[in-house]
Structure 1
């Protein structure tokens, strides 16, 4: 027998999204993984599944086979010592409706794998959660990490605007803006009440916020403190920003009740060009001409609706 080695160099990410989120999710996938898929992505990139509002879980691949039996023969080599385990058939997969595996057979698959692992099975709170899933004609087995919907915890803020980004959208936008978080310095220079700041800080991203509206800054600081995060938020117009950042995230117009004029929008975009290498802009209007005039290149984009019954849609535009 051999000791269990949980190290993996390949991963499967399972996805779930609503129809109106297709465009936003696809852009996040392209930025994080360089490809898009309806429900499952295989990648060598190791990303915490809780980063994304769309990822349901991550399978760290240990064994691959052409059948469940082939997987069972391989897991028989493992010894878990005193660790308990559970086997989970992952229902998110690429099987067609005709190929769908029903509940009873799912339990049989779990049992067949479980009986071949030398260790103690435990249905509730096991030490190790294993997953098994069919994908592209093969079966994959490994440790499975379920996503935690961190953004859900941020829904109830002490300060809120009706026109502010949803926490779900803000989290996806942060991933689009900052796919690799290590050592990246980010600014949200039109931060409003700090929805983007809260999501970024929860991921451990170095981000600072600013806004020319003192009341908005006060609300952003209160929201950040409410969730026990630490972040800097200043009362400052983007025109007065003197630092330089790897990424800027800008929501335009950032207050629908006091909508920025086209001249003000262009001023913000022009100053963003001066303070950041990469900028992700959210807008409810067509501002491509402004972006190009500010010497940006549009490298990707999507459409994001505000909720299932959206009264308006935002464009998310990635500029470099």
Structure 2
């Protein structure tokens, strides 16, 4: 492990957490965000050479920019004396990250003291200017700068307009990350945007995205929500997705449904064929598992999938890529 970390110019440690009903979605999001850059992974923890802002994911609780790695806490403490340039101008504290190897409370505090005492500078426990994380993973000790998510997306939970069965802000944010792991230079579309839940999460990440919906009431609600969060109402338009023209890099479709009727299979097939024409990469969400076969008939291959559960209400999620 020490050599694996040392072989990379910069390595980041991420911790994440999810409720059991969202565990599959969390896993799908992590696979999309990190791909083949993962150096080590276990439940709720991974090491990667890829730098991602922790606020991107609703499940991330920490990113630690690793600065030092050693085979023992004593060796790490010896190295900590060279941290002066990193903490210069900041007060700091050292915090043991519990996601790694298991130690007792007393051992964790002792590790913090032995490492923190070797770092030149001003220690401040209540309101430090910098938090340094200390962790052991499979016997490899690491020290680095902790970055915590601000959770600004929490402001999107209670929108002026919403459907009771619409995607939550948390689910929408995770699905945007599955749709577009890299946002720079990507044009995306949500052609069945409803009240704009996906649009708002995507826009807050800096993604270039447009919305469309065939329902005038949905468009009115989406525009109200966009304006509420400071985005342009013109980003959503009224119309049938089957008539939408243009090419996008990625798309998201939460297939329409209601409690009284099911969208006919022929209409679903038409929508998915239009989606294939619009974007080579798409996330499809549906309450009907049978949509899986219609996705393949449209020309996509399913590269990843999960389910999202809320009580007895189940959504199926497929990541689709053009064959």
TM-score, structure 1 length as denominator?
0.91
| Structure number with higher helix proportion | 2
Hey, what's the Cα distance between the residues in 2 that align with 1:72 and 1:229? 49
* SS of structure 2 residue aligned to 1:88: strand
Q: Which is further off, 262-271 or 174-183?
A: 262-271
TM-aligned CA deviation for residue 298 of structure 1: 1.1
Tell me the C-alpha RMSD between the 2 structures. 1.8
- From 268, 271, 292, the equivalent of 1:268 is 271
Hey, what's the Cα distance between the residues in 2 that align with 1:211 and 1:73? 61
Hey, what's the Cα distance between the residues in 1 that align with 2:42 and 2:284? 24
TM-aligned CA deviation for residue 199 of structure 1: 0.8
Hey, what's the Cα distance between the residues in 1 that align with 2:206 and 2:118? 40
Hey, what's the Cα distance between the residues in 2 that align with 1:161 and 1:37? 36
Question: What's 2:4 paired with?
Answer: none
1:289 partnered with 2:293: yes
* Residues 247, 229 of structure 1: alpha-carbon distance in 2 compared, 3 angstrom cutoff: same
Question: What's 1:14 paired with?
Answer: 15
1:247 partnered with 2:233: no
Within 5 A, what are the aligned runs for 1:18-33?
18-33=19-34
Contact 1:202–1:229 (8 Å) recurs in 2? no
Contact 1:192–1:254 (8 Å) recurs in 2? no
Within 5 A, what are the aligned runs for 1:298-309?
298-306=302-310
Contact 1:59–1:131 (8 Å) recurs in 2? yes
TM-aligned CA deviation for residue 192 of structure 1: 0.2
Question: What's 1:317 paired with?
Answer: 318
Question: What's 1:49 paired with?
Answer: 54
TM-aligned CA deviation for residue 37 of structure 1: 3.7
1:78-122 CA-partner distances (Å, limit 9, x unpaired)? 2133321121111222x3xxxx32323222221211111111112
The number of residue pairs the alignment matches comes to 306
1:92 partnered with 2:106: no
Within 5 A, what are the aligned runs for 1:40-189?
40-79=45-84, 80-93=87-100, 95=101, 100-189=102-191
* Residues 258, 155 of structure 1: alpha-carbon distance in 2 compared, 3 angstrom cutoff: farther
5+ residue gaps in structure 1?
A: 1-6
